[in-house]
Amino acid sequence: MKRIRKAIFPVAGLGTRFLPATKAMPKEMLTVVDRPLIQHVVDEARQAGIEHLIFITGRNKGVIEDHFDFQYELEDTLSERGKKGELDALSRDLPGPGTTSFTRQQKPLGLGHAVWCARELVGNEPFALLLPDVLVQNERGCLAQMIDAYSALNTASNIIAVEEVAPELVHQYGVVGVGKTEGKTFQITSMVEKPKREDAPSNLSITGRYILQPEIFDILATQPKGAGGEIQLTDAMLTLSKSQQFHGLKFDGRSFDCGSKIGFLTANIAYALKRKDLAPALRDELKGLLG
């Protein structure tokens, strides 16, 4: 069984829910505390042992590529000013030479199409897919937990990270059906996009982290447009599930939907409260704001 070496990050979205902030800046570069969203998600992938980072970009996304490159003027200035801590931090965050690839999704044709754009860079091996507007806070990252579960299955399965949501909220998510438990995972029996509460197969929602087999690319190549006139990844996964197993993993940790304003603001507070240098003062400020 091939190990997971590559991860796809779809970063071509327009970020319209955060206008005007995202008019000239990619939403993936919005900061949670002092790190861009995309940096948090890349940190998770690198912690999990991912060796090759594949970014699916679009127009006006060049700043993401610049973020993961040297910035000589900045580093020279920091060096001259004796800012060794800041220099070391930049060095730790920088991916190694040849470990990042960038390819364009020229038209916004959906998540499935964005994944398909990475087919030549991934090749014939399983890969991880991480949605950059979802952060998962836990000491051991969500993807690392998924790779552990994938290795334990010892079979070429597909894995989707899931978490419980309130039953009255299932209509906002993709929801999976629950089958036989296998170790820390369970067999997925169905996938339903934004079902009515009475039609939902469970209250376990899909949470923006996937391990997928390369056969998904052939399906996406001919996948008809689905909801919203876009090529939907869920539709392709449903097709693939007819010939391959899908497993769900209830990961440890909490997710934050940073594609929404409330999720983004909550993530900033939650991540800041984990920082020893920020938490005490932030708690005092929050107490004051809350009266």
Q: Is residue 1 part of a domain?
A: no
Q: Do 232 and 145 meet the contact criterion of CB atoms below 8 Å apart?
A: no
Q: Is residue 235 part of a domain?
A: yes
Which of 60, 62, 80, 64 has its CA nearest to residue 72? 80
**Would you say the pTM of this structure is higher than 0.85?**
yes
Distance of alpha carbon 33 from the chain centroid: 18
Specify the pairing of strand 127-130 against strand 134-137.
Answer: unpaired
CA–CA dist 128, 45 (Å, integer)? 9
CA–CA dist 168, 76 (Å, integer)? 54
Q: What is the pLDDT along the chain (291 residues), one digit of tens a residue?
A: 678 999 999 998 878 898 898 888 899 999 999 999 999 999 999 999 999 999 999 888 889 998 888 887 888 888 888 888 888 888 888 888 899 999 999 888 899 999 999 999 999 999 999 999 999 999 999 999 999 999 998 778 999 999 999 999 988 888 999 999 888 899 999 998 888 888 889 999 999 999 999 999 999 999 888 877 888 899 999 999 999 999 999 999 999 999 999 999 999 999 999 999 999 999 999 999 998
Domain of residue 118: give its range: 6-289
Q: Coil, strand, or helix at residue 143? A: helix
Distance of alpha carbon 19 from the chain centroid: 21
The CATH number given to whatever domain includes residue 16 is 3.90.550.10
Tokens of residue 194, six digits: 């934004």
Q: How many domains would you assign to the chain?
A: 1
Q: Is residue 262 part of a domain?
A: yes
Q: Do 248 and 176 meet the contact criterion of CB atoms below 8 Å apart?
A: yes
Q: Is residue 253 part of a domain?
A: yes
CA–CA dist 77, 82 (Å, integer)? 9
pLDDT tens for 118-168 read 999 999 999 999 999 999 999 999 999 999 999 998 778 999 999 999 999
Sign of CA dihedral 89, 95, 96, 102: negative
Q: Is residue 232 part of a domain?
A: yes
130, with CB counted inside 10 A (0-12, 13-18, 19+), is buried
